Amino acid sequence: MDDSRTSIDWAVGVLIALRGYSPEQAFEELVSHSYTFDVSLLHSARSLVAAAREIAVDSLPVDATEREWGGLLAERRPVARVDNVA
């Protein structure tokens, strides 16, 4: 399997996990994101996976990813706990 197909499959998996989609629904959302933000499907996929991993990736449409999926991703991120030390 080539790298581009793997990236798309991972992004589909992220959307399945976040939204409870079927693989077909997840792929359709990824295609819609690509079209809406005028970026390649591969860039949409890679930026979603990077955002899910909380990795900044240069030259990918991270702003579009945050607008589309940032809220969903934020809901799934663990909150850092700070204990009160007296």
Query: What is d(CA 61, CA 79) in angstroms, rounded to the nearest whole number?
Result: 25
User: For 47-82, what is each residue's pLDDT tens digit?
Assistant: 999 888 875 454 455 677 777 787 777 777 655 545
Residues 6+ apart with CB under 8 A from 43: 34, 60, 61
pTM, entire model: 0.66
C-beta separation of 62 from 48 below 8 A:
no
